[in-house]
Structure 1
Amino acid sequence: MSMFRKLQALEAEGRPVRVGLIGAGKFGSMYLAQARRTPGVHLTAIADLSPDNARRSLARVGWPAEAFAATSFETAASTGSTFVTEDSAALIASPFVDLVIDATGHPAAGVRHVLAACEHRKHIVMVNVEADVLAGPMLARKAAEAGIVYSMASGDQPALIAELVDWARCSGFEVVCAGKGTKYLPQYHQSTPDTVWSHYGFTPEQLASGDFNPKMFNSFLDGTKSALEMAAVSNACGLLPPRDGLLFPACGADDLQTLLRPVSDGGVLERKGTVEVVSSVERDGRPVFRDLRWGVFVVIEGETPYVRDCFRQYGLLTDQSGRYAATYKPYHLIGLELGVSVASIATRGEPTGATRAWSADVVAVAKRDLVAGETLDGEGGFTVYGKLVPADVSSRLDAVPIGLAHGMALTGAVGEGEVVRWSDVSYDGQDETIVLRKAMERDFAPSRAG
């Protein structure tokens, strides 16, 4: 039976899965736009640091005021309405919530939410890729020990890539490369929240809508978000990142199988079984033909002449040898698709992608020359961006992960383009998130990553 049919059955039986959403920003708002249209799902509560902002988001996506007028979790559960609060801890602890969605994008908050979900035995969907990359293997282990589902968020590119990888492997194909598209130029690494909008072309009316956070959007532009998402894919799918960061080659949908193959076969990859991000613009700024800016892809290998013949017979584009082929999805709808994760957990007890090892990390790199005494401002900010590297490289460098590079004061200078190391910053060694991260590094050392 399909997941939708099972959701319909839950609705008919009066047993909807009761969902709590933490964070009503862009991703959360997109989920809210669809949540009331899905049978078998009751959005019991929303927690946001600004409840008024959450209410404005609800109104903006079309909810009538009476639909979010509940004054408590219990009232929401009994009336089918939604309770808006600022207390995420109470939401997770509520007996009227079965499944939690973390859409905050804040690493430390995400860690706290997962640990609380484990304590209260609530399934959790992690839109918060920042927290997942920071300590995902440890969080996934704790979730498994607690008997809850810890899942990537469908609609976000990592989960969609993991789905393509799973399709390829279940079909018997070796995965040569998997990844996504974005708009990238090398100079974007120096972008700041003050310069970000000039690269996007949004209108003043769009920016005034309340959906657009300059720091978040800058993290997409400066390469940090791409690094985080590819680290999540690496850690979930057993694929490795390039040794010295993503290449971001300019590439359209028709050329994936030609460009994203090993160097020994005429491509740009240092090995098979890797992740990569392709740019929608050439290095001189010209648009790429049939770009995949919003899409995801997987490159596969046909290992026998018979399979390569089948590629050709059924119209799959291949490289000249016929050995490498690619398939892709040209778009992703982020929060609009998040209901798939909710449905998968509610009806099958399965995640839509989940971390299983520490294969890749995202380290903080200086955007400019930084001096002692400066305070790092984290993902999408003015001081650092995130670079994807293998976990063993991060360990060897003793690098500060981008998810913790916020609010730390530098104890020495760090030159532009240099990795920020733990010896370069002052920090609280008793901080819960730092303690968990250090434990994850010990327990999931690269030599033991599976």
Structure 2
Amino acid sequence: MSYVDRLRARERELGRPVRVGLVGAGQMGLGFVVQASRIAGMEVAAIADIAPERGRQAFAQAGRDDAVTGGSRAELARAIESGTPVVTDDAQTLTGLPLDVLVDASGVPEVGAQLAFAGLLAGKDIAMLNVECDVTVGLLLARLANGLGRVYTVCRGDEPVECKALVDYVRDIGFEVVCAGKGKNNPLNPAATPDSVADEAVAKGMNPHMLASFVDGSKTMIELAALANGANLRVAARGMTGPHCTVEALAETFRPATDGGVLPDAGVVDYCTGPVAPGVFVIGRSDHPAIVEEMAYLGMGKGPYYSFYRPYHLASVEAPLTVAQAVLDRTPSLAPQAWNAEVLTVAKRDLRQGESIDGIGGETVYGLTDSAANARTGGHVPLGLAAGARVLRDVSAGTVLTTADVAVDETTTIATLRRLQDRLLEGEEVLGAWI
């Protein structure tokens, strides 16, 4: 039975649809609201945005011009229960409203951490369009959700989740996963800033900080770290290899160097520039003669490496599927299974002692994926903790920042959760060594 059929059946049984609370009514949030409004048995019942007018406009585009703005939590709750959508400027308000799932589309790691932690404790399922938060504290949030009988998940539509579905498929049919990854939409320019991409952002109708995070590579690094942790794959080299590639050449390119490819090893994540974007891919391997013969007959190439390719990802249009999966199946679309990858913070320009880091997609830093082991032994600062950090000494552009270079703002929720996650991982390492 399809999700829509099951959502309708649930609505008939309970007398109401799945109620979703959304944080962030920007480009991704708007798409989510409009698409969810077209799915029977599901509704966005509340939006939190620092600019409430964006929330009202999102509801209006979804055909609802009756949204209630402001009022006490009790008043907002009564409105929701009567079928009237509400808008607030405080994300934390959503945790106390009669909602089933909280979706974070803010893209701000601290906002995601606050919402997810408080929401889980309040008995809500959490669905993240905020992958930046997931690659910082996602393992802790997933463990907390499991312990509380809730679901913590990254949303479908983003490349990590759609690629994870391909990984599962390739493993399920008995192939070895050699590489999983995505095409990068923009040529890589680590020096890109909101100012340098401003004209392009206007032309595309994008937030310049978001576009800068795409162009400087941070978003690709974040997404592939989430995939590595969610699919239990590795990062073979800092920054990965990132060759230019076509769809037809995927299986020839993303194989170990010993077999003529670019990979240092198998079982890794990677990306490419070129016409593979906006798709995701998995390279699977099977060398049994019968399978090689069958795959050749089926037009999949000569083997033993084969490409499995999805030519699109639909961002916020597909994200409501994760809400349905969480509510109906009680499983995540993607959540960290292990902590294999980190996104390190790199100086985008020369930084001076006393400066403050402005965060992802800004003027000062970009992200670079590496193994979690390398990040830990090098004392490197995760990109998700960089916003608001204070520069302790002059560093040159291109420096991978450590705790000797910058002081993280330890008063934030995400920093607190990160320290708890670090202790959790340290305890597991000690236990593993003892066993």
Q: Report what 2:226 is aligned to.
A: 232
Q: Report what 1:37 is aligned to.
A: 38
Residue of structure 1 aligned with 2:254, choices 252, 260, 269: 260
Q: Report what 2:278 is aligned to.
A: 294
Question: In 2, distance between residues paired with 1:75 and 1:438?
Answer: 38
Q: Report what 2:240 is aligned to.
A: 246
Question: In 1, distance between residues paired with 2:352 and 2:321?
Answer: 46
1:430 Cα deviation after fit = 4.8
- Partner of 1:65, secondary structure, is coil
1:68 Cα deviation after fit = 6.1
Q: Report what 1:283 is aligned to.
A: none
Aligned-partner residue type, residue 374 of structure 1: E
- The yes-or-no answer on 1:334 pairing with 2:328 is no
Q: Report what 1:393 is aligned to.
A: 374
Aligned residues: 427
Question: In 2, distance between residues paired with 1:273 and 1:427?
Answer: 33
* Contact preservation (8 Å) 2:388, 2:409: no
Q: Which aligned pairs between 1:17-416 and structure 2 lie closer than 5 A?
A: 17-59=18-60, 61-66=61-66, 72-94=75-97, 96-186=98-188, 188-198=189-199, 200=200, 203=203, 207=205, 212-280=206-274, 291-316=275-300, 318=301, 322-416=303-397
- Partner of 1:43, secondary structure, is strand
Q: Report what 1:286 is aligned to.
A: none
Question: In 2, distance between residues paired with 1:42 and 1:70?
Answer: 20
- Partner of 1:189, secondary structure, is coil
Q: Report what 1:8 is aligned to.
A: 8
- Partner of 2:261, secondary structure, is coil
Aligned-partner residue type, residue 38 of structure 2: R
1:201 Cα deviation after fit = 7.3
Question: In 1, distance between residues paired with 2:62 and 2:39?
Answer: 15
1:428 Cα deviation after fit = 4.1
Relative to structure 1, the CA distance from residue 66 to residue 101 in structure 2 (aligned partners, 3 Å threshold; closer, same or farther) is same
* Contact preservation (8 Å) 1:156, 1:333: yes
Relative to structure 1, the CA distance from residue 69 to residue 438 in structure 2 (aligned partners, 3 Å threshold; closer, same or farther) is closer
- Partner of 1:372, secondary structure, is coil
1:70 Cα deviation after fit = 9.4
Question: In 2, distance between residues paired with 1:271 and 1:169?
Answer: 18
1:253 Cα deviation after fit = 0.9
Q: With structure 1 as the length reference, what TM-score do the two structures score?
A: 0.90
Question: In 1, distance between residues paired with 2:239 and 2:256?
Answer: 16
Aligned-partner residue type, residue 165 of structure 1: V
- Partner of 2:357, secondary structure, is strand
* Contact preservation (8 Å) 1:218, 1:380: yes
Question: In 2, distance between residues paired with 1:145 and 1:329?
Answer: 34
Question: In 1, distance between residues paired with 2:85 and 2:122?
Answer: 20
Q: Deviations over 1:128-171 (max 9, x none)?
A: 11111011111111111111001110111111111111111111
1:184 Cα deviation after fit = 4.3
Q: Deviations over 1:92-121 (max 9, x none)?
A: 121x10111011111111111111122111
Question: In 1, distance between residues paired with 2:34 and 2:183?
Answer: 25
1:37 Cα deviation after fit = 1.0
Question: In 1, distance between residues paired with 2:409 and 2:212?
Answer: 27
Q: Deviations over 1:340-372 (max 9, x none)?
A: 101111221111111121100001001122121
* Contact preservation (8 Å) 1:360, 1:389: yes
Aligned-partner residue type, residue 397 of structure 1: G
Question: In 2, distance between residues paired with 1:327 and 1:26?
Answer: 30
1:448 Cα deviation after fit = 7.7
- Partner of 1:244, secondary structure, is coil
- Partner of 1:217, secondary structure, is helix
Question: In 1, distance between residues paired with 2:42 and 2:412?
Answer: 36
* Contact preservation (8 Å) 1:101, 1:127: yes
* Contact preservation (8 Å) 1:70, 1:82: no
Aligned-partner residue type, residue 47 of structure 1: A
Relative to structure 1, the CA distance from residue 234 to residue 428 in structure 2 (aligned partners, 3 Å threshold; closer, same or farther) is same
- CA RMSD in angstroms, aligned pairs only: 2.0
Question: In 2, distance between residues paired with 1:167 and 1:260?
Answer: 18
Question: In 1, distance between residues paired with 2:9 and 2:70?
Answer: 26
Unaligned runs of 5+ in 2: none
* Contact preservation (8 Å) 1:70, 1:76: no
* Contact preservation (8 Å) 1:45, 1:76: no
Unaligned runs of 5+ in 1: 281-290
Aligned-partner residue type, residue 120 of structure 2: C
Q: With structure 2 as the length reference, what TM-score do the two structures score?
A: 0.93
Q: Report what 1:442 is aligned to.
A: 423
1:23 Cα deviation after fit = 1.0
Q: Deviations over 1:292-351 (max 9, x none)?
A: 2211111101131111112111111x3x5x200011111111001111101111221111
* Contact preservation (8 Å) 1:153, 1:159: yes
Moved more, 235-244 or 70-79: 70-79
Question: In 2, distance between residues paired with 1:255 and 1:21?
Answer: 40
- Partner of 1:143, secondary structure, is helix
Q: Percent identity?
A: 38
Relative to structure 1, the CA distance from residue 78 to residue 440 in structure 2 (aligned partners, 3 Å threshold; closer, same or farther) is closer
Question: In 2, distance between residues paired with 1:267 and 1:447?
Answer: 34
* Contact preservation (8 Å) 1:236, 1:353: yes
